[in-house]
Amino acid sequence: MGRNRFRFDRQYGLLAGLIGILAVVAGVVLLDQDHQRHVSQLRSILMQDARILSEKLEHSMFEMDLVADSLAKATGRNPDLGQEQFAETVSKLVDYHAAIRNVAGAPDLRVEYVYPVEGNEEAIGLDYRSLPDQYAAVKQAVRQRAPYLDGPVDLVQGGSGYILQYPVFTETGEGRSHLWGVVSLVVSQEGLLGLEATGLDFDDVALRRTLPSGVPGEVVYGRAQVFDADPIIQRLTLLGDKWELAVLPTGGWPAGSPRAPLIVSATALAALLLIGKVLFMGHLAQARESARKLLLCSIEAMNDGFVLYDEEDRLVMRNTRAKAFYAPTAAEMPPGTAFEDIIREELRVGHFDEVEDAEAAEAWFQERLRAHRAATGVAEQTLADGRCIKIAESRTPQGYTVSSIVDVSELKAAQQAAERADRKKSEFLNNISHELRTPLTVILGYAPFLAKPTALVQAKALNEMLARDDAMTPEVRAAVSKMLGAVERHGQRVEGSAKHLLAMVNEILDWAHVERGKVQLRPERFSAAGMLSEIADEFEEQARRSGLDLTCDCVVDEIEGDPVRLKQVLYNLVGNALKFTDDGAVTLAARRVPEGVEFSVEDTGCGIDGEHLETIFEQFQQVDGSDTRRHGGTGLGLAIAKHLVELHGGILRVTSETGRGSRFFFVLPEAEAADVAPEAAEQEVA
């Protein structure tokens, strides 16, 4: 056991370690995939931001180009305009362009006009030729005869920004143009791209010009390092030049995903859960193995045989006790042998005593196979060595068949002895009942004469003699009359006791028939009302003497049944009701209910305790012994009535309340009785 447990612990420990390693690998893979997904999402967002910035930049350059071109044309038409005219013209063009910080006009490359003047006074009089950096941009614009963006530059009026240098040429009249100067539009560093619309920082964006050769030029906006950090690059054309706009996420590309802690935690939790589950499964496997061995040992220790067949009806296992029952072939029937082969081999070696020839063997085999496949009953077999075994079979939810084999040889012998004794008892009761009925019949035949002695011929002659005046004295006549009265009273008592004794003998005889299965029904159509009326008439005098009201309530016409047996049932119930009711009434009734016809006897007697409601229908049972002594009876009446009702397809029931009375009732299913009863009439009831 310890070695097996160590093996289980080692196997599941290795599996838990392997799960841990796989969890680490899975965590790394998930982190890498999530990081790539996060970077891909960031790239998509940055590409959108880059498109927004490039569109904004293109739009700003287009507007600045329009403004500069308009100023250039206005200046070309009026080269000698003054500051006031310049300011008026510029104000109409730039008031709706917040990105343009100021505008300057530089005829002959010297700044003479600015807008707005306030804050830009120091720029007036500036000569671009004295500023090498800006002059280079001016020359480039003049040489290209196109606007040129320069920056970032330190502005004379303070701060830094970008200057769009737009060359202005005037016509000389000879088809030639003359350089008037340049118009300069200053844009703030913040207003060039409008980063506030994207949430990006200055350090995350860079802009550079691409030379005609395709070689990257200088960076005019942002940090040059942005282009070295695998940025999102948006290519665009501005003012006739090629540009590249580079965008990075704020803080650079992330080393991991924001969900990395969650992934690590989830992976670790999943690994712990799996490891815990594996270890728990290992524990369950150990427990299951221990339980399996315990079960096998328990089955082996059973005094009864145990056999298990699988869903294909092949032998799985059987204990030593089961092998002992089938010792002649046990060694030749290993696990996996079909049940059919096992039984055929047992028949071949003659292991069953009840099989006498080949024809009987085949019939017995088919019946045994059918019962085994049904697996719902109990079968008895007598073996060749004289032992009797009982086989109980049942099916498991998995489709397996379990057979339990018990040696009932001693029980069978005891049962047979008890049955023989019961038969002798029944024969004795039958014989003694018949022997008692013969003298009781004679007694009942003569008792009426004693109950009414005046009906005797001798009594009539004696009365005639006494009637003569000279025959007897008045004293003799009185004595004779008194003697006849005493004889009448004693005769009535003898007749009543004889009838009671005969009723008891009849009950014992009926019960003997019930026990032997000899009660037969003879169903017919008869009047239920007539039967109940006859019963009420027979008990009317007894009820009157007891001071009770006996009523009959029947709303049923003809029914199907055995009128003699049904009358016997109701006669017994009414008799009991009258015996156990001291005051009130007894009601005999019949009515139709959905199940059939309900007969009932209800009284206002002493009632029955709840603990006795089930036992009163058993043989020789009364509520207590005092009732037997007080009211008489054998205790068989209700047992016989219950059996007769069941033969009709009904169930005799009772409801009772102590001190308030009882109600005995049963339902006779007419349709069922009509179908079943005729068959029952032809057979002995088992």
Instruction: Give me the pLDDT at residue 598, please.
Output: 93
d(CA 325, CA 447): 67
**142's torsion region: left (phi>0), alpha (psi -120 to 50) or beta?**
alpha
Judge contact between 155 and 161, C-beta under 8 A. Answer: yes
Instruction: Give me the pLDDT at residue 574, please.
Output: 92
Each residue of 94-144: pLDDT tens digit? 776 767 888 888 888 898 888 888 878 888 888 888 888 888 888 888 888
In our burial notation (b when 16+ CB lie closer than 10 A, e otherwise), range 85-110 reads: ebbebbeebbeebebbbbbbbbbebe
Encoded tokens for 278: 């594996």
d(CA 376, CA 365): 17
d(CA 96, CA 599): 109
Pairing status of strand 113-115 against strand 148-154: unpaired
Encoded tokens for 222: 């942002």
Using CA atoms of 363, 365, 367, 371 in order, give the dihedral in degrees to the nearest 10: 180
Instruction: Give me the pLDDT at residue 447, please.
Output: 64
Q: Is 410 exposed, middle or buried (0-12, 13-18, 19+ CB in 10 A)?
A: exposed
What's the distance, Cα to Cα, between the start and end of the chain in Å?
Answer: 57
**Secondary structure (3-state) at 596:** strand
d(CA 211, CA 218): 9
Cα distances (Å, whole numbers) of residue 530 to 358, 521, 527: 60, 20, 5
Q: Residues with Cβ < 8 Å from 400, sequence gap 6 or more?
A: 308, 309, 310, 311, 316
Task: Give Dmax over CA atoms of the chain in angstroms.
Answer: 203
d(CA 223, CA 225): 5
Q: At residue 281, what is the residue type?
A: M
Using CA atoms of 318, 321, 325, 327 in order, give the dihedral in degrees to the nearest 10: 80
In our burial notation (b when 16+ CB lie closer than 10 A, e otherwise), range 296-306 reads: eeebeeeebbb
DSSP state of 611: G
**pTM as predicted:** 0.41
pLDDT under 70 in the chain at which residues? 1-9, 96, 98, 157, 173-175, 194-199, 328, 330-332, 351, 353-357, 425-426, 428-438, 440, 442-480, 482-518, 619-635, 670-686
Question: H helices within 399-408, ranges in order?
Answer: none
